[in-house]
């Protein structure tokens, strides 16, 4: 074993986005690219000497090689211990749980979440802090600054270590503990949910289908849903994680999980369906012939979480990202709970959870979670829904209908325009931003703009300010359109258009969402000039 100090120089563009650094896999495989960013993580967080870390990822192409590099660099930088998932595998929420359970100094998670994987697809890396959550902006900014100062990185020259066999071993002076990636997480879920009630419901003939999309949650879902809860063998499909996700796009929405949607709409379909994404932090919930939007899912969970043993005492508060619909706000208002509106990015929920201000958080991008970890958690959301169904004896459709009857229905949709010319997309947003002061009082497609702003957030815990977080257009009557450029893509630009309209009921609660939102869609397109400025009239993905 030889300790090496490798001369290097800064590499442009290593700026983390809302969920770490994401690029095409061949970019990460370039000489020095991964090493530079890992060294910047250590340098920006006070060095690795004497510290402990969790390391793992979603198993996408290059995951196994990247884990070996990170282990050798951690040892060279003086780390005392690294906990690594067997074969380098850990779902993002499971990694968060291990960071918290073993009180490590943080974790390095390898994932591009819901983005496709493979030799020419996407790869990602992010640092999670000791609370288990994604690094906040001040840390990611420090990492980015460190990438611009690098002159060298440290790594040991050694053969690959065995990360397939559970147990302890040494890498130089650093302890490496290879752990079962599933067991600690599954045990945590048993403390939060009534497994006996769910098991009994399944025993009475309740059928479910979980699509792991050839991604990381397959082993987790098999262990929990089939082995511990008694779902029939084969209830978990696409359950083997593959480096290219079997050619699938591991994004759990009606477009990319079309096979699951078809099964739930079939005459003999199961009672409940769910899907999760590449690294296990997102979820889609579907009942028999009933799609649950992520915003509705968050609201229904907020209204019923007390039915799960781990939440029997109620919720301290709730938080949602700004583009997420206001459906959960109505539940919070009725229950007298605090409700926070944050920028997009799970890292913004961390301070609120650490301060005990919120228990439940959610994003419209199929992310839901609670303070049990500091990441959104797809399998957790599935189990929460199963617990609610078992406790109430109701179907997904009945639960939604009763929720809308009580709180009204917030029609909601997200339209994604992908792979846009980045300069044209940025120019459109800048033009719209410049016109915001003059928009209130103007009319578009029959809707009058009541307010228009560029969302800024002041963290109520530490006072930090995050500006430029998305353009909001609120119309008279409460309808809303939000526009922002996504920070999770790796090529071109993705424009996300979020659309919302609330119906109080009792009438008008059963419309098709796109039909109900049609006036808002037209107004948003007219105001932004989407067709004229980026050349698109139809979104690539509608959720």
Measure the CA–CA gap between 6 and 10, rounded to whole angstroms.
13
CA distance 532 to 418: 16
**Overall number of domains in the chain:** 3
The verdict on 16 and 108 lying in the same domain is yes
Q: Is 477 helix (H, G, I), strand (E, B) or coil?
A: coil
Q: Determine how β-strand 122-128 pairs with β-strand 152-157.
A: unpaired
Cα 163 from Cα 38, distance rounded (Å): 19
CA angle 446-451-455, nearest 5°? Answer: 130
Claim to verify: residue 203 and residue 302 sit in the same structural domain: yes
As annotated, the active-site residues are 113
Query: Are 264 and 397 a contacting pair, CB within 8 Å?
Result: no
| Domain final position from 388, 407, 426 | 407
Strands 236-237 and 290-292: unpaired
Which helix (H) or strand (E) segment holds residue 21: the answer is strand 21-24
Antiparallel, parallel or unpaired: β 174-179 and 52-57? unpaired
Residues 94 and 59 grouped into a single domain: yes
Same structural domain for residues 516 and 437? yes
Is residue 532 domain-shared with residue 401, that is, in the same domain? no
| Strand partners for 352 | none
- Last residue within a domain, chosen from 180, 208, 229: 180
pLDDT (0 to 100) of residue 487: 57
Distance of CA 467 to the CA centre of its chain: 21
CA distance 327 to 180: 38
Pairing of strands 317-321, 338-342: parallel
pLDDT for position 507: 87
What is the residue-level pLDDT of the chain in tens, covering all 543 positions?
Answer: 799 999 999 999 999 987 899 999 999 999 999 999 999 999 999 999 999 999 999 999 999 999 999 999 999 999 999 999 999 999 999 999 999 999 999 999 999 999 999 999 999 999 999 999 999 889 999 999 999 999 999 999 999 999 999 999 999 999 999 999 999 999 999 999 999 999 999 999 999 999 999 999 999 999 999 999 999 999 999 999 999 999 999 999 998 999 999 999 999 999 999 999 999 999 999 999 999 999 999 999 999 999 999 999 999 999 999 999 999 999 999 999 999 999 988 889 999 999 999 999 999 989 999 999 999 999 999 999 999 999 999 999 999 999 999 999 999 999 999 989 999 999 999 999 999 999 999 999 999 999 999 999 999 999 999 999 999 999 999 999 999 998 555 568 999 999 999 999 888 899 999 999 999 999 999 999 999 999 999 999 888
- CA Rg value for the chain: 23
- What CA–CA distance (Å, rounded) separates 44 from 40? 6
Map residue 539 onto helix, strand or coil: coil
Among residues 504, 337, 311, 526, which one has the least CA distance to residue 432?
Answer: 526
In angstroms, rounded to a whole number, what is the distance separating the alpha carbons of residues 245 and 118? 8
Residues 208 and 289 in one domain: yes
Predicted model pTM: 0.93
* Cα torsion angle, 161, 163, 166, 170, sign: positive
String of DSSP letters for 299-338: HHHHHHGGGSGGGTT--SEEEEETTS-THHHHHHHHHT-E
Whole-Å CA distances, 485 to 326, 352, 450, 498, 537: 21, 25, 23, 11, 17
Cα–Cα distance measured from residue 275 to residue 255, given in angstroms and rounded to the nearest whole number: 12
Let me know whether 417 and 395 are in one domain.
Answer: no
In order, the DSSP letters of 373-425 are SSS--HHHHHHHHHHHHHHH---HHHHHHHHHHHH-EEEEEEEEEEEE-HHHH
Q: At what angle do helices 183-192 and 92-101 cross, to 10 degrees?
A: 80
CATH of the domain at 478: 3.30.310.50
Task: Give yes or no: residues 86 and 67 share one domain.
Answer: yes
Residue 17: per-residue pLDDT: 83
Indicate if the alpha-carbon torsion angle 107, 113, 119, 121 is positive or negative: negative
Helix (H) or strand (E) holding 99: helix 92-101
Domain range spanning residue 510? 409-542
The SS3 call for residue 483 is strand
SS (H, E, C) 157-197: ECCCCCCCCCEEEEECCEEEEEECCCHHHHHHHHHHCCHHH
Comparing CA positions, the residue from 221, 142, 214, 141 lying closest to residue 181 is 221
Final residue of a structural domain among 354, 375, 407 = 407
* 404 φψ region: left (φ > 0), alpha (ψ -120 to 50), beta (else): alpha
Same domain, 173 and 261: no
Residue 396: closest CA among 407, 382, 385, 381:
385
Q: How far apart are CA 77 and CA 65, in angstroms?
A: 19
Q: Residue 314: give its domain's CATH number.
A: 3.40.120.10
**Does one domain contain both 364 and 303?**
yes
Six-digit token string for 478: 């409460």
**Rounded CA separation 470/490 (Å):** 19
With b for 16 or more beta-carbon neighbours within 10 A and e for fewer, the 227-254 pattern comes to ebbebeeebbbbbebbbbbeebbbbbbb
Is 481 found in the same domain as 413? Answer: yes
H or E element, residue 432: helix 422-435
Its sign, for the CA torsion 114, 116, 122, 123, is positive
Look up tokens 């780390």; give the residue: 79
Do both 90 and 230 map to the same domain?
no
Nearest CA to 379 out of 203, 215, 264 is that of 215
> Strand 52-57 relative to strand 81-89: parallel, antiparallel, unpaired?
parallel
């Amino acid at each position: 074993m030889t300790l090496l100090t490798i001369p290097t120089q800064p590499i442009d563009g290593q700026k983390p986005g809302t969920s770490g650094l994401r690029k095409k896999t061949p970019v990460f495989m370039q000489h020095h690219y991964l090493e530079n960013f890992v060294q910047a993580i250590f340098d920006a967080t006070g060095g690795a000497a004497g510290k402990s870390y969790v390391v793992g990822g979603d198993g996408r192409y290059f995951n196994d090689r990247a884990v070996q590099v990170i282990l050798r660099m951690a040892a060279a930088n003086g780390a005392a211990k690294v906990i690594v998932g067997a074969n380098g595998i850990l779902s993002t929420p499971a990694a968060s749980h291990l960071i918290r359970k073993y009180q490590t100094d943080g974790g390095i998670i390898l994932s591009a979440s819901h983005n496709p994987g493979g030799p020419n697809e996407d790869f990602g890396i992010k640092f999670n802090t000791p609370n288990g959550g994604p690094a906040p902006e001040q840390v990611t900014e420090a990492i980015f600054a460190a990438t611009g100062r690098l002159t060298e990185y440290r790594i040991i020259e050694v053969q690959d270590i065995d990360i397939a066999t559970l147990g302890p071993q040494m890498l130089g002076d650093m302890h490496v503990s290879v752990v079962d990636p599933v067991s600690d997480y599954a045990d945590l879920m048993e403390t939060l949910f009534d497994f006996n009630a769910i098991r009994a419901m399944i025993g009475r003939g309740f059928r479910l289908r979980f699509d792991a999309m050839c991604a990381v949650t397959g082993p987790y879902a098999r262990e929990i849903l089939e082995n511990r809860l008694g779902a029939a063998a084969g209830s978990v499909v696409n359950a083997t994680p593959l480096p290219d996700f079997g050619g699938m796009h591991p994004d759990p929405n009606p477009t990319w999980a079309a096979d699951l949607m078809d099964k739930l709409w079939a005459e003999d379909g199961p009672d409940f369906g769910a899907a999760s994404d590449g690294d296990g932090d997102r979820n889609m919930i579907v009942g028999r012939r009933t799609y649950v939007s992520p915003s509705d899912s968050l609201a229904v969970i907020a209204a019923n979480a007390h039915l799960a043993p781990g939440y029997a005492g109620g919720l301290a508060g709730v938080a949602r990202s700004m583009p997420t619909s206001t459906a959960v706000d109505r539940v919070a208002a009725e229950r007298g709970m605090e409700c926070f509106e944050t920028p997009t990015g799970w890292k913004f929920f961390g301070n609120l959870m650490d301060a005990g201000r919120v228990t439940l958080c959610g994003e419209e991008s199929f992310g839901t979670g609670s303070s049990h970890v500091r990441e959104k958690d797809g399998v957790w959301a599935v189990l929460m829904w199963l617990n609610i169904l078992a406790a109430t004896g109701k179907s997904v459709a009945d639960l939604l209908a009763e929720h809308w009857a009580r709180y009204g229905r917030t029609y909601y949709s997200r339209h994604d325009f992908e792979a846009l010319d980045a300069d044209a997309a940025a120019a459109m947003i800048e033009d719209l931003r410049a016109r915001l002061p003059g928009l209130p009082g103007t009319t578009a497609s029959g809707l009058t703009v009541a307010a228009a702003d560029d969302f800024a957030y002041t963290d109520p815990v530490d006072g930090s300010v995050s500006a430029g977080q998305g353009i909001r257009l609120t119309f008279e009557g409460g309808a809303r359109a939000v526009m922002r450029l996504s920070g999770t893509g790796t090529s071109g630009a993705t424009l996300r258009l979020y659309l919302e309209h609330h119906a109080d009921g009792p009438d008008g609660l059963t419309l098709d969402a796109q039909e109900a939102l049609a006036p808002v869609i037209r107004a948003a397109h007219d105001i932004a000039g989407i067709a004229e400025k980026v050349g698109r009239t139809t979104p690539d993905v509608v959720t």
